[in-house]
Amino acid sequence: MMTLKVNGHDHQIDADPDTPLLYVLREDIKLNAAKFGCGLGQCGACTVIVDGKAVLSCVTPLLLLEGKRVTTLEGLGTIDAPAPIQRAFMEEQAAQCGYCIAGMMMRAQALLQKNPKPTDAQIRAELEPHLCRCGTHMRILRAVHRAARLMDTAELSPSSHGSTP
């Protein structure tokens, strides 16, 4: 039995230490944003954020997550209150079939957290591990730029600094 911290909540997980995080997220915790694509760490569809870094959850065994904070797409925003990255992807209509998009958003989110104004080249280099077969790459690029702008504006708005009297 181990405690896994996902999106701010502690979960008691009863699984072998070599169980991939992706299986635990989808089957035990029922968080289905992270997708099973190849199971080999080669497509990026399973990407989640662990302690601020984008990680391929299909090749990350549970035992590596002791004491770490996992964030999935569900932890960023909801349908009613989407996070900037989610809003940007919707506004740019960056998804076609959408299977790769959750992973794309998570790596983009991790990138924007450490580099709020990435260049086109930096976004391309960062998203290199992700495959998209529909071919919405140009929209994905625009969406990441848009998310950067949205986050920038969000920081300037008073509401993001906590509740104002």
Partner 1 sequence: MTKPRIIACIVAALLIGGVVTAFAVVWRPAIAAIEPPAPQSFDTALVKQGRDLAAIGNCNDCHTVRGGKAFAGGLPVPTPFGTIYSSNITPDPETGIGRWSEDAFRRAMRSGVDRAGSHLYPTFPYDHFTNVTDEDDRALYAFLMTRPAVHVPARANDLSFPLNQRFVVAGWKLLFLRLGTYQADISQNAEWNRGAYLVEGLAHCGACHTPRNALGAERASASFSGGDVDNWHAYAINARSPSPVPWDTEALFSYLRQGWHSDHGVARGPMAEVVSNLSSVQESDVHAIAAFMTSVFGLPPDRLRQASDIRTRIKSPPPPSPTNTPGASIYAAACATCHDTDRPLPYGGVHLGLSTAVSAPDPRNAANIILSGIGPVEGERSPIMPGFASSMTDQQISALLNYLRARFSNQPAWTGVEKTVADARISQTVFLQTSQGPHNAPADPMQRDKP
Indicate which single residue of 2, 29, 39, 98 sits in contact with partner 1 (rule: CB under 8 A).
39
Q: Which three-class secondary structure string do you get for 99-143?
A: CCHHHHHHHHHHHHHHCCCCCHHHHHHHCCCCCCCCCCHHHHHHH
Cα-based distances in Å from 25 to 19, 78, 127, 138: 11, 17, 22, 30
Do 61 and 84 meet the contact criterion of CB atoms below 8 Å apart? no
Q: Which stretch binds partner 1 (CB under 8 A): 26-34, 50-58, 88-96, 154-162?
A: 50-58
Q: Which stretch binds partner 1 (CB under 8 A): 17-25, 80-88, 98-106, 132-140?
A: 17-25
Indicate which single residue of 7, 19, 32, 96 sits in contact with partner 1 (rule: CB under 8 A).
19
Cα-based distances in Å from 156 to 44, 46, 112, 152: 32, 32, 16, 7
First vs last Cα of the chain: how many Å apart?
Answer: 44
**Quick check: 16 binds partner 1 (CB under 8 A)?**
yes
**Quick check: 73 binds partner 1 (CB under 8 A)?**
no
Indicate which single residue of 3, 27, 53, 116 sits in contact with partner 1 (rule: CB under 8 A).
53
Q: From the CB of 112, what's the least distance to partner 1, in Å?
A: 16
Strand partners, 54: 49
Q: From the CB of 61, what's the least distance to partner 1, in Å?
A: 3
**Quick check: 61 binds partner 1 (CB under 8 A)?**
yes
Q: From the CB of 3, what's the least distance to partner 1, in Å?
A: 17
Contact positions toward partner 1, by CB under 8 A?
A: 16-20, 39-42, 50, 53-56, 59-64, 128-129
